[in-house]
Structure 1
């Protein structure tokens, strides 16, 4: 039979979905049957990936979308599975990641009135008043499928929202009876459901920005996620090199600017100090950034002229947000930067001014580079995150994808990887830990011929549900390398406490509830669940051989590898 579930699968196929990351339950008989029928008759439907944990499922879709730009589907079980998505939903929403989520719902009949009517006790317990409300605050679009007659239109509408800026997850739900409903096939032209066209700068905005950037003494760009579109990085690089504009990353989620360029001024996270480059800039252009600076510790100088370009400049999902921008524009970064480059193509900018800017930023760039190089030297028998990351960098090539969830080592990893290629390194874009393993798995599905690395803190490794991740990696042939930056605890909560109470009782306490002593056997979990190659590394002289052996396991033996790197205790 051609059912609502058949039509939904057909719509997902039309929308370019390759995978359904599924955690199936009692609400999905119609979907399971429709997939089985499609396989039996040879009808193309997205491939189902069995996911024993919902966080892993959505993180895998997240990583796939970051590599390809295309939303994949996640299927979960009623309100229980919806709630289990939790942190992954936050990450997708805050990271602007397109993902299609479908959840079943408890049947709405109980005496056999319709096919799919209640026949298990759990279906009374899992019937809640507002299942969609659990995730509504994070979704770009949510709806309930009430009939199969227009389910294809709902799917394509949802995908249109997911892929239109500000991009993000979408959510549909449907009860068993409606998903079992026999319907007539409906023909849909996907061309009618394309994402909304990117927004551009108004003409007077282009002129105002061009004037500010060409007349400033020390103009600076601050960005966080511009690099989600590699084409935007190309336009930014072109603009900055032409005019001698410095680039500072704030909490970078992507490679936004090549770090080997002399105009690159580093990246800032929670550093408790004034950033000197930001303090000296007389014009600051903020492009695609949720947190361009933390005003309590670092901000532009008082007379700086600030301009703002973002797909969501009002930050509509953030109750408290503002920067002192003279003008703010709702525009796509790539489109806006292309407009600026076209405007400036025939502009005359004094060569002495441009050279002065380049020299100014070159001094900062070279001083920073020399300091980072100094920190990469081994410190006796102590295994430092700087040295570990430098050794990893030596093994990263143009075919490597890095998923970075280092948390307290975010800054260190980005600094010492020194990425230069847009689209080669990602963070979750959100604040819920445990994204790294699923994301690496999804990234490997998206790019099976590339080497994938997950660099993670020990806390975020445990959050990632490695038993599920590595079972899935073995089953679906997605080997990747995980490096655990193991400081035996949650260092970030300790740093947060000391930042507020530097001389308080917690600063003198031996135990504040954040240590993992004795630590779990992180590598052993992956070996037991997925047959991964594993090693524990405690000394600098063990690092390079361990990395080479692990990468051989990933690239040649086609199995995962986990290296447990023991850093100084938190």
Structure 2
């Protein structure tokens, strides 16, 4: 055994054994042993996961998370002690709430200070970065956390962590290792990775399958509501089969995946439930299947009638990370929707169905779908004076093909993007599934690393663009050859806080005075940020007639290996405060 076989070497070997492809790293004074182990592996032509240098930890974890979203395979993130852990920021929230498997490793300040062990404290920062409970910083967002105390069982800890991360409900895990431990010379341990597979997916009890089928057969106005069923692409096929068998309409509630083909005649819309109008499919339903959804409806706005039978099937039915959560369901099941739907479909195949009623219902639902499509098409018409988000999204839809993946972080334009992109292929559109902004940039890098031959288009608001650390994102995109297109839906401010305020105080003083503290004037040249940081193709678009040409220019740039950013001006949220200094900025400064 080489004397250079350390805990860090064993840690990296374990990641390789587990199928981790990338380590998204922001290294620091706690990682000399890991840096040395990586260098030695390169010298010896030993295969370890590829290191992706990430100048900001938020981007690192977001990239790792989106890679796992698209492939199902967790990646590793390495950050610097408690400072790097805190700099993960909202990305740890997104990974937790979005149920994304990822392994985060952070070093810890050395625990000796007089040279007792290799790695002992030798920099002033080692005293300042030693905190009482480093793991506690993220404990509320992780499924598992632990400290590596010896190299003798580090592989077991890594494989256990990943087993937990990949078992439903999935999520991030966090390990720490003090510098002396990671420098420790140790013996190699051989691991049978078959012993560390994630837990098998759960099915529905046979008797409950019968009850669900019986209630669906009797239903006059059945409905399916889902949000993230599409994370398993085969589940989409099973849902389509069920809905076509019984003519059941589908509503996607705050979706984070493509859950049901948007152009299917049984697709009846994407809901954020903020509309004051009655949603008749929900309020009139007599049987509802809630499939993988955190917020199937908002009770104070819309909810099913009191007699409705509700079945809830979810990989996370208890929502244990949500202190307040419940819906009025006849039964809730911890089950994999792909398996559960397959069970229901198999039983339906053996049941006699009232074809006349099903055909009649199909006609009614198809009419609802067609009416929605026509209303959306009307909104997509070009306006000669300004660019609408509906028109912009329809233009983006025209450049989308079977090889395109859309990332949606449109915030106030979330529903518009889903409605007007109308994705119909599983895996063709994703969102973070959570609430911390700035996801789209790092996510685009992760998706592009996972699918190098795909066209990746990231749609974002101007506020979330700033949150994404674009200087880091575009530096990484150039360094690691992951070109993608960013389209900024720029309304010169945070529209969502304004909408939230109006939702609670529609006739309040803030509305009276038009004072919401959310406008971004004077305007930043967002596209130029990406150009300066990563050599991206940059263009600002203000005229509706320039939108399609700009999209073609941007597509050509990414085909040539260069990221592109289109900063598209929509109507400002505060027209009276919409200040674009442009070339006047220099004069004003003088």
Q: Same fold (TM over 0.5)?
A: yes
Contact 2:273 2:302 in 1 (8 A): no
After superposition, what is the alpha-carbon deviation per residue over 1:366-423, rounded to whole angstroms, capped at 9, x for unaligned? 1111100000001222100000000000100001011110000000000000000010
Structure 1 residue 114: Cα displacement? 0.3
Q: In 2, Cα distance between the equivalents of 1:377 and 1:361?
A: 25
| Match among 78, 81, 85 for residue 78 of structure 1 | 81
Measured against aligned partners, the alpha-carbon deviations of 1:323-361 in whole angstroms (never above 9, x if no partner) come to 000111110111101111111111111111111221221
Q: Is 1:261 aligned with 2:264?
A: yes
Q: Write the distance in 2 (CA, Å) between the matches of 1:56 and 1:270.
A: 31
The CA deviation string for residues 155-212 of structure 1, in whole angstroms up to 9 with x for no partner, is 0000001111000101000000000000000000111100100000001110111111
Identify the residue that residue 64 of structure 1 maps to in structure 2.
Answer: 67
| 1:196 correspondence with 2:194 | no
Report the TM-score, using the length of structure 2 for normalisation. 0.96
Aligned pair partner of 1:99 in 96, 99, 102: 102
Task: Report what 2:582 is aligned to.
Answer: none
Picking from 290, 294, 297, the partner of 2:294 is 290
Q: Which digits, 9 at most, give the CA deviation of each residue in 1:36-76, with x for residues without a partner?
A: 10001000000000000000000000111111110000000
Aligned counterpart in structure 2 of residue 218 of structure 1, from 221, 246, 258:
221
- Corresponding residue SS for 1:309: strand
C-alpha displacement of 1:228:
0.4
Distance 2:216 2:13 in 1: 50
Task: Give the number of aligned pairs.
Answer: 569
Deviation at 1:552, TM superposition (A): 0.3
Query: In 1, Cα distance between the equivalents of 2:104 and 2:465?
Result: 24
Q: In 2, distance between residues paired with 1:290 and 1:262?
A: 25
3-state SS in 1 of match to 2:209:
helix
Distance in structure 1 (CA, Å) of the matches to 2:312 and 2:273: 22
Aligned to 1:26: 29
- Structure 2 partner of 1:180: 183
Deviation at 1:499, TM superposition (A): 0.7
Q: How does 1:279-318 map to 2 (within 5 A)?
A: 279-318=283-322
Question: Is 1:538 aligned with 2:542?
Answer: yes
Unaligned runs of 5+ in 2: 574-590
Alpha-carbon distance between aligned partners in 2 of 1:339 and 1:263, rounded to the nearest angstrom: 21
SS at match of 2:482: coil
Look up the SS of the partner of 2:299 in the other structure.
coil
Counterpart-to-counterpart distance in 1, 2:241 and 2:299: 30
Matched, 1:427 2:431: yes
Distance, in Å, in 2 between the alignment partners of 1:520 and 1:190 is 50
Per the alignment, in what secondary structure is the counterpart of residue 187 of structure 1? coil
- Equivalent-residue separation in structure 2 for 1:115 and 1:276 (angstroms): 69
1:370 corresponding residue in structure 2: 374
Partners of 2:46 and 2:458 in 1: how far apart? 35
**What is aligned with 1:125?**
128
Deviant stretches of 4+, over 3 Å: none
* Cα separation, 1, equivalents of 2:284 and 2:353: 21
Identify the match of residue 41 of structure 2 among 24, 38, 43. Answer: 38
How do 1:443-482 and structure 2 match up within 5 A?
Answer: 443-482=447-486
**1:398 is matched with which residue?**
402
- In 1, Cα distance between equivalents of 2:568 and 2:343: 46
Deviation at 1:487, TM superposition (A): 0.1
Measure, in 1, the Cα distance between the counterparts of 2:286 and 2:275. 22
1:450 & 1:500 partners in 2: Cα distance? 42
How many Å separate the matches in 1 of 2:361 and 2:286?
12
What is the CA distance between 1:89 and its match in structure 2? Answer: 0.3
- Gaps spanning 5+ residues in structure 1: where? none
1:364: Cα distance to partner?
1.1
Q: Which residue is equivalent to 2:584?
A: none
Among candidates 156, 159, 168, match of residue 156 of structure 1: 159
Where does 1:228-239 land on structure 2 (aligned, <5 Å)? Answer: 228-239=231-242
What residue is the counterpart of 1:349 in the other structure? 353
- 1:55 equivalent in alignment to 2:58: yes
CA distance in 1, matches of 2:458, 2:65: 14
Partner Cα separation in structure 2 for residue 272 and residue 233 of structure 1: 27
Aligned counterpart, 1:380: 384
Q: Which residue of 2 aligns with 1:360?
A: 364
Match of 1:509 among 509, 513, 518: 513
Q: Distance in 1 between matches of 2:187 and 2:322?
A: 43
SS of 2:89's equivalent in the other structure is helix
Q: CA deviation at 1:321?
A: 0.5
The one of 497, 500, 522 aligned to 1:496 = 500
Contact 2:273/2:297, CA 8 A, preserved across alignment: no
Q: Which residue matches 1:563?
A: 566
Name the structure 1 match of 2:281: 277
Q: What SS class does the counterpart of residue 555 from structure 2 fall into?
A: helix
* Matched residue SS, 2:391: helix
Please give the secondary structure, in 2, of the residue aligned with 1:167. Answer: coil
* Backbone CA RMSD of aligned residues: 0.7
